[in-house]
Every structure is written in structure tokens, then in C-alpha cells.
Amino acid sequence: MEVPKINILDESNKLLHQVSKDVEFPLSEEDKKRIQDMQDYLECSQIEEISQKYNLRAGMGLAYPQLGILKRIFVVVNAREDGTFEKHVVINPKILSFSEEMIYVGEGEGCLSVNRPVEGIVPRHARVTVKAYDVDGNEYQIRVREEIAVAFQHEIDHLDGILFVDRINKEFPFKDADKMREL
Ligand code: CO
């Protein structure tokens, strides 16, 4: 697979701090291509030989605002144990419900738009149920959990102009860690 050319904006860009708009269907061919490219890019970033060769940071999620386009679209790609990939295309998402239980990523969340080390915990719901549309405009519902739930919440935040660093307590970056489960 060739690594798609994708220009990912840095957190200093003001587009990453704005609220994106719902998308209308049918999607343009350009958008369909872009969504495919985003998924391929993430897949490449998780394949060691490719990521090393092209010096890619591994990522499991990418949202349209990170490409400078304020539309409510994101993709999540996650390598399974068997080497295949779990892929999600999520358009105009709405969170229908979420678990009371909170979790956080122990090693810290990362973001392809945040190019610096960041300390602290980002509280996330352990499970969320989301309603969204696929590339063909079909509505679907999905319940995601654990790292996929974290990814969905991280990406939905992007659509609202929020970065994970915004969710870390400035004064006490590890505040309430004892009240949540570490992932
Ligand atoms: Co991100």
C-alpha cells in the first residue's frame, strides 16, 4: 500500500479549535477518496516497516478538522492481534449514551496534531453508544468500549474543536486518577 499524501495540521492552527458542521449526503467523490486516504494513512502508520521507512507516527484516529476541513467526519483504525484492522468511518456522530465508569490511557493519549510530550490523564467513558452515518449515508448505531471508546471520544472532541490536552487538568494533571480505571 502506498502512503497517501495527507497534510495534518498542528495544534497551533486555529482550525483545530473550531466547531465543525454536519455533512450532507451524498458525499462528493473527493470526500470518499479523502476518507479512504485517511484510513489507509492510519493503517500504514501502524505497520512497522512502513511507519519506519516513511517516518510516520502511529495513530488510530483522524478527524477532518485535522486536515483543515470543518466537517463532522472521522475515521478510526485499530490493528487486531491477527494483523487485520478494525475500521470505522463515523459521520455526523451523536453520543446516545455512555457508561458511568471512567477510564484513562495510562501512557497518556496521543494525537497526530500534538507534536510534543504531554503529561496527565484524560478522563473518558469506558463505553459509549454512538449514532452516526456511513459513507453511503446509512444510519447506524454502535457501542464501543475500551481503547475504541477512547478513540471515538477523542475524535468527537476534534469535531467540537477540543484537543485532548484541553481535557487535562492544568494545575493537577493526574487529578482523580485513583477514581478511574487505567487502560
Ligand atoms: Co487527535
| Inside any domain, residue 43 | yes
Q: Which DSSP letter does residue 161 get?
A: T
Q: Is residue 60 part of a domain?
A: yes
CATH number, position 165: 3.90.45.10
Query: Tens digit of pLDDT for each residue in 67-91?
Result: 999 999 999 999 999 989 999 999 9
* Number of domains present in the structure of the chain: 1
Of the candidates 81, 155, 171, 182, the residue annotated as catalytic is 155
Question: Is residue 133 assigned to a domain?
Answer: yes
> What is the domain extent for residue 99?
14-182
Question: Does a structural domain hold residue 2?
Answer: no
Q: What is the mean pLDDT of the chain?
A: 97
Residue 100 has pLDDT above 90, yes or no: yes
Cα-to-centroid distance, 100 and ligand 1 (Å): 23
Please state, in angstroms and rounded to a whole number, the distance separating the CA atoms of residues 51 and 63: 20
- Which pTM value belongs to this model? 0.97
Task: Kindly tell me if the per-residue pLDDT of 1 is higher than 90.
Answer: no
**Ligand 1 centroid from CA 22, angstroms:** 19
Count CA within 13 A, CB hemisphere, residue 112: 26
Asked if 147 is an active-site residue, the reply is no
pLDDT of 54 over the 90 cut? yes
30 has pLDDT over 90: yes
